[in-house]
Structure 1
Amino acid sequence: MANFDATGASIGEHLSLSLSVVAGETAVPVFVADFGAAFEGVVRVNNWLDLSQAAGEDTASGPWAVVLRGYFENGGGYCYLANTAERTLQEALTSIEAFADVTILVPLGLWEQGADVAGETARAVTAYAASHLAMAILHADRDHDAPQARDAAVAFKLDAGQSAHTALYHPWLVPSGDGAEPVPPVGAVTGLWCAVDRDRGVWKAAANVAVKGDARPARAVTDTEQGDAQPVNFLCEFKGRSTLVWGARTLDEADDWKYIPVRRLADAVERDLQKALSFAVFEPNSQPTWERLRAAADNYLHSIWQQGGLMGTRPEEAYFVQIGQGVTMTEEDVRAGRIVLRVGLAAVRPAEFVIVTVTGTTAQA
C-alpha cells in the first residue's frame, strides 16, 4: 500500500449540482534552459513551425534546436520554454507556477557546468516536480558509461519524493546526418511520453517504443550493463527495430513508485480530483455533498478502468472510492470544513492498490 495526501483545493467558480471529474492534460512539458536573449520568462510553443515565431530565430537555430526538433518529431504536442538567461533557476521555476497545465519538467544543459551544478539543478527541478504532481526527465552526461550513469543518479542525492517523480535516460542520441553531434535524449523521450499518453493513456509505459528520425545511441549498452545500472532507463539499438526506449523506471527503487506509469497515473488522478473537489468549497460538509463527490469519482475511475488503465475484471477489483464521517473524516474534520476523499487504484503494474487521498474545504457546519 502506498499513501500520499493532497491538501488545499483551490477556490474556483461555484459549480452546478451535477458534478463530474474531467481528465486533464497529462503530458505538457516545460523545457528549462538558457535560451539567451531570444525571449524573456516562459513562452508557449505549439509545434516546430511555431518555434521561431513564439521563441525567436535564435532558439529555432540555437544549441537546443535539435533537442526540441526531436521532441516534436517523436509526437510532442504544445510545450513551454522557460528561459534562465539573466535570472536564477529558482526564479525560472517560480515563473512556471503560472502555467498549471505543466506536468513534465525537462532541464536542458544539465551537465554543462559540471557535476556539482548538475546535482543542484536536478534537486531543484525534481523538488518542484514532486510538489506539483509532475515528473522530471533527466539525462546522464555525454561521456558517461552505464555504471557512471547509475552513479550520477545516486550522486544527485534526491529524497524519496523527488526520486519517485524523476526518470533518468542514457545514452545520448546521434541524429541522422553526416557529422551530427550527440544530443541529450530528453527531447525525443519527452515526445514519446506525449505520443503514448495521447494514443494509449498515461498508464501505458513509454517503453519498447521506437525513436523516430533515425537517431541512434551514441554508445552501445549490453544487457548486463542495463541490469546492473537500474533504475536508469536506456535507449538501445536493435537490429531491424531501430532505436528503442528500454526501461520505464523512476529513480525510486522502492516497490510503490518504481514504475513511471504508476507514479504518473496516481499524479494524474490526484490532479483531476483536486480540481473537482474545488466545487465543494461553498457546499455544506454533509452526506449529499459527499455522495455527489463519491459518484463523480466513481464514474471517473470507471472510465479509466474501461480504457485498460486499471487491473481487475470487475470495477471493485480495479478501484475503490471512500468518503464520509467515520470513514475518511472525523467529526472534527466536518466541523472544520475539511472534506477528505480517498480512492484506491489497482495500477496495471504492479497489481496493487495505490491510495490517493485528496483534502479540500467546504462551508463549515
Structure 2
Amino acid sequence: MSILSVSSGPTAVPVFIADFGTAFEGAARVSDWSDFRGVAGGGAIPGVTDRVLRGYFENGGGHCYLANTAGKTAREALAEVEAFDEVTILVPLGLWNNGADAAGDTARAVTAYAAAHRAMAILHAHQDCDARQAREAARSFKLDADQSAHAALYHPWLIPSGDGAQPVPPVGAVAGVWCQVDGRHGVWKAPVNVTVQGIARPSQAVADKEQGEAQPVDILREFEGRGTTVWGTRTLNETDERWKYIPVRRLADTVERDLQKGFVFAMFEPNTQPTWEKLRSEADAYLRALWKKGGLQGTKPEEAYSVQIGQGLTMTEEDVKAGRIVMKVGLAAVRPAEFIPATVTVTADRT
C-alpha cells in the first residue's frame, strides 16, 4: 500500500492579472517588492499602478505571481497560471480600464477560474462609483452562484500616504491583508477589522447606512484612532446562506484542496474497503488537527466535522465499478455553525 499523507497547503498565494506590457511574457513569480520591481523593469507598467502591488507587500503579502495580459485576453492569461497549483487568490488589476463590458468579461473569466480551482477572486468597482453603485457594478457582472461564492468586491479606492498620491484600487492592500490574517491566525479567520498600512485614507467616506445598502460589497472605512480599516467579509453570493462569508468559502476550498492532493495515491489502489478506511482515517486526522487549531466549532471532534465514505453511503455500485471514490466531509465552520458540505472524488484502480 502506498503511503497516504494529508498536509496543509498554502492558503494565500495571489496571482495579479494585468497588462504588464513588455516587462515579461506569460507568468512570473515574485518574492517581495524589490523582486517585483526587478521583474517589472523598475519602472511604470502600462495599465498598472506600482502602488497597488506595493500595498500588497506593505500589508503582509508574501510571494505571489504575475500573469501578463498584454496582447491576450484574461482567459488566455489564466492558462499560464495552470502551472502554479499553489495559487489560491486571483486579483485582476486595471479591471475597468477598457470599460464596463470588458470589466464584466474579465470578472466572469477570473471568477470562473477561481470556482473551478477552489480559489477566490478579489474585485473592485470603478473609482467613480459610490457604495450603492459598487453593488450594482458587482451585479452587472452577472456571475452565477458558484462564481459569486468565489468572489469578493471591495470599495472604495484608497489614497496612499504621501504628498500628491492618487487613488488606487484597494485590491492589492486587501490581498495583503488576507495573507497577513492567514499567516497569523488561519484561513478560517475573517480578514476584517484590520488596519490597512501605507494608506492615508479611503477616497470616499461610507456611513453605516450606505454600507448596509451596499451589501454584499465589502467596505474599507476610516475610523478615528484606527486609520483605514477593512470593514466587511462577504462574498458576492446573495442566494446561498452557506457561502455568504469569505472565511467559510475559503475554509471549505482549503479542505477540499488539501484532501484532494493527499488522496492522489488512491489512483493506484483497489477501490475496496481497506482503501476507503485508510482515506477516512487520514481525513479524520487532518480535520482533527484543524479543529484543534481553532478552525472548526465544537467542543469535541464529532461536533466539529464528519467524514463519510463507502458503497451505499457516498458511492453507488456504478461508482465503484467505474473506479470513483467519493468522500463527503461536513465542516462546522466558525461562522455559520451548521455543517458545510465538501466532496472529494478520486479515481482508483478498478482491480
> With structure 1 as the length reference, what TM-score do the two structures score?
0.93
SS in 2 for 1:256: helix
How large is the RMSD of aligned CA atoms in angstroms?
Answer: 1.3
Tell me the residue number matched to 1:49: 34
What whole-Å deviation, never above 9, does each CA across 1:170-228 have from its counterpart, x for those lacking one?
A: 00000011111000000000000001011100000100011012431001000000001
Tell me the residue number matched to 2:151: 166
Q: 1:268 is aligned with what amino acid?
A: T
Tell me the residue number matched to 1:40: 25
Q: CA deviation at 1:62?
A: 8.1
For residues 286 and 44 of structure 2, what CA distance do their matches in structure 1 show? 40
What whole-Å deviation, never above 9, does each CA across 1:60-83 have from its counterpart, x for those lacking one?
A: 898421000000000000000011
1:354 matches 2:336? no
What whole-Å deviation, never above 9, does each CA across 1:217-271 have from its counterpart, x for those lacking one?
A: 0010000000011000000000001111001000001201010000000001111
Alignment check: 8 A CA contact 1:74 1:191 kept:
yes
Structure 2: segments with no counterpart, 5+ residues: none
SS in 2 for 1:158: coil
1:245 matches 2:230? yes
Tell me the residue number matched to 1:5: none
For residues 53 and 113 of structure 2, what CA distance do their matches in structure 1 show? 22
For residues 237 and 291 of structure 1, what CA distance do their matches in structure 2 show? 52
What whole-Å deviation, never above 9, does each CA across 1:317-337 have from its counterpart, x for those lacking one?
A: 000111111211122222221
| Structure-to-structure mapping, 1:226-237, within 5 angstroms | 226-237=211-222
SS in 1 for 2:263: helix
Q: 2:343 is aligned with what amino acid?
A: T
SS in 2 for 1:82: strand
For residues 339 and 132 of structure 1, what CA distance do their matches in structure 2 show? 20
Tell me the residue number matched to 2:317: 331
Tell me the residue number matched to 1:12: none
Q: CA deviation at 1:143?
A: 0.8
For residues 329 and 59 of structure 1, what CA distance do their matches in structure 2 show? 55
Alignment check: 8 A CA contact 2:24 2:40 kept:
yes
Q: CA deviation at 1:110?
A: 0.6
Q: CA deviation at 1:26?
A: 0.7
1:222 matches 2:207? yes
Higher RCO, Cα 8 Å, sep 6+ = 1
Percent identical: 69
For residues 77 and 356 of structure 1, what CA distance do their matches in structure 2 show? 28
Tell me the residue number matched to 2:4: 19
Tell me the residue number matched to 1:6: none
For residues 56 and 234 of structure 1, what CA distance do their matches in structure 2 show? 33
Q: 1:144 is aligned with what amino acid?
A: C
What whole-Å deviation, never above 9, does each CA across 1:271-324 have from its counterpart, x for those lacking one?
A: 111111211011011111111110100010001111111110010000011111
> With structure 2 as the length reference, what TM-score do the two structures score?
0.97
For residues 64 and 270 of structure 1, what CA distance do their matches in structure 2 show? 35
Tell me the residue number matched to 2:244: 258
Change (3 A) 1:99 1:59: farther
What whole-Å deviation, never above 9, does each CA across 1:14-45 have from its counterpart, x for those lacking one?
A: xx644221111111100000011111110000
| Structure-to-structure mapping, 1:1-365, within 5 angstroms | 17-58=2-43, 63-253=48-238, 254-365=240-351
Alignment check: 8 A CA contact 1:38 1:58 kept:
no
Count of equivalent residues: 350
More off after superposition, 204-213 vs 331-340:
331-340
Structure 1: segments with no counterpart, 5+ residues: 1-15
